[in-house]
Amino acid sequence: MKPIRLVSGFLTVGVWTLLSRVFGFVRDVMIAGFLGAGPVAEAFLIAFSLPNMFRRFFAEGAFNTAFVPLFSKKLEGGEDAETFARDAFSALASFLILFTLVAQLAMPWLVLAMASGFAGDARFGIAVDFGRIAFVYILFISLAALLSGVLNATGRFAAAAAAPVLLNAILIAVIWMAHATYAGPAGEVLPGVTGRSLHIGTWMTWAVPLAGIAQMGVVWWAAGRAGFRFSLRLPRLTPDLKRLAVIALPAMLAGGVVQINLLVGRQVASFFDGAIAWLSYADRLYQLPLGVVGIAIGVVLLPDLSRRLRAGDAAGGRDALSRAGEMSMALTVPSAVALIVIPGALISVLFGRGAFTAQDVEATALAVAVYGAGLPAFVLQKVLQPLYFAREDTRTPFRFALVAMVINAVVAVGMAWAIGFIGAAIGTTVAAWAMVWLLWRGTRAMGDVARFDDRFRARLPRIVAASVLMGLALWGMSVWLAPVLAQAGLRWLGLLALILAGMAVYFSVGHLIGAFRLGEFRRALRR
């Protein structure tokens, strides 16, 4: 992939991911407004996280990490890539159907594994019922992830990046319809649970597998247009699939470690009423820049590096890595500073309404600031990991992830006893930076292809300086606009003014001190 196509692919994925995250914000604003941080909200968030956790474990985290480099190399070498993709699709589908059936029986234990603090209250029964419905999503979204890997490896990023928008769009529509059509009892139907909230939560849960079908349909159609046609058939254990399994197993274990990190956070949070919702809404906010930048970089960079390593193009690989790192830091560092400096303004305007109280705003804002401190680390992981995966090395990241898991567990559990739920967020951030250090240290033996070039090293300190100046401006503006941000009718305009002012300061200062050139962003957008 030429540098122009690399940037173009990054922007394609980034723009669609941005749209998905915006729809996700609208979805979460509606959930917070109607359900707040109450039992139904927490039960739904746990139920929804179950298929997503295993999706990242099996499909995105392991299967695709191993599948994309092998598929890319078959394409590059003129081998029969389509048959390999069909065999992988059938094998994954067969495994997921069986796994979904087992999960239905094991759902009470899965819920307790996610949130043992639910035991003995209304949240547990609701989460089990919701979990059985929502878990079917894993089948459709995991197959969609494999089809997306096929499209990404062939340089077709749009359909795969656009599919997640459907999930949030469907959920938004269903939440609104559930609220508008409710005609049941106005009071509590369970301790702390109103009939309206349970009705909305049930509708949302049924919308999850419906959205999975829609997402898979989009990428299935796009893959067919690209010349790759898939159908369900009995799986065959071919030599290529055996090799895929050998490479995927360490990646699956590494993905499991990452999910254990998240599991530790949820377990800690489940013992504090409302904390699962607080951390989830905070996660949504920092996932915006992480999704737009980090995931886009990872999706585009992995197949590009795989092709370059096969072709022996070390110079091109180093340039791709450096430009990906440069663009990711130019967009991520200022986002991290903003999350640290003005989390209260962001959360109060975005979520502070309806059932979402002032206490909920304060707790969620604290979590946003802590996650913001780890945001550059989360993105740098997406930049550095393809260096290993492109070499079909999934064992080394697994070992690093084990170390990060131990660090996260010690920090999260240890600090929770002293400072409460926020210990979970601190553990996540500390473990993220530890993982980055380990990944960077492990690239020493890879040669120049794993080294950022002189341009990146010169620009990074300037990006940080421009971000710090922007942070000071944001802090001053937030104090000045505090009366506006507190008024229900004007606070959206106040937040928009705050964000636009921060962007103006950052991009103007960054351009003046040489952190980047504005023309580079304009040319990238045109491409």
pLDDT of residue 47: 93
pLDDT of residue 527: 45
For strands 193-194 and 188-190, give the pairing. Answer: antiparallel
Cβ atoms of residues 137 and 171 within 8 Å: no
Residue 366's pLDDT band, with cuts at 50, 70 and 90, is very high
Sign of torsion over alpha carbons 57, 378, 68, 392 = negative
pLDDT of residue 473: 95
Distance CA 379, CA 383 (A): 7
Same domain, 213 and 335: yes
Residue 319 pLDDT > 90: no
pLDDT of residue 1: 45
Same domain, 217 and 300: yes
Nearest CA-CA partner of 171 in 197, 128, 220, 209: 209
Same domain, 237 and 347: yes
Mean pLDDT, residues 278-302 taken together = 72
Residue 495 pLDDT > 70: yes
Same domain, 171 and 296: yes
Residue 121's pLDDT band, with cuts at 50, 70 and 90, is confident
Same domain, 97 and 216: yes
Select the more confidently predicted residue: 14 or 336. 336
- Weakest-pLDDT range from 15-29, 303-317, 336-350, 400-414: 303-317
Task: List C-alpha distances in Å: 279 to 45, 101, 168, 287, 372.
Answer: 10, 30, 19, 12, 13
pLDDT of residue 255: 57
Mean pLDDT, residues 448-454 taken together = 77
Same domain, 447 and 467: no
Indicate the number of domains in the chain. 2
* Conformation bin of residue 420: beta by default, left when phi > 0, alpha when psi is -120 to 50: left
Same domain, 315 and 462: no
Same domain, 147 and 248: yes
pLDDT of residue 466: 95
Same domain, 471 and 342: no
Amino acid at 479: V
Query: The domain containing residue 363 runs over which residues?
Result: 3-452
Select the more confidently predicted residue: 395 or 1. 395
DSSP state of 444: G
Task: List C-alpha distances in Å: 399 to 173, 250, 360, 439.
Answer: 43, 9, 37, 10
Residue range 200-228, pLDDT digits in tens: 999 999 999 999 999 999 888 888 887 88
CA distance between the termini of the chain: 14
Mark which of 391, 425, 452 sits at the end of a domain: 452
Average pLDDT, the chain: 83
Same domain, 428 and 519: no
Same domain, 210 and 135: yes
Same domain, 382 and 520: no
Cβ atoms of residues 133 and 284 within 8 Å: no
Select the more confidently predicted residue: 370 or 89. 370
Residue 352's pLDDT band, with cuts at 50, 70 and 90, is confident
Mark which of 412, 434, 452 sits at the end of a domain: 452
pLDDT above 90: percentage of residues in the chain? 32
Residue 85 pLDDT > 90: no
Mark which of 452, 467, 483 sits at the end of a domain: 452
pLDDT of residue 219: 87
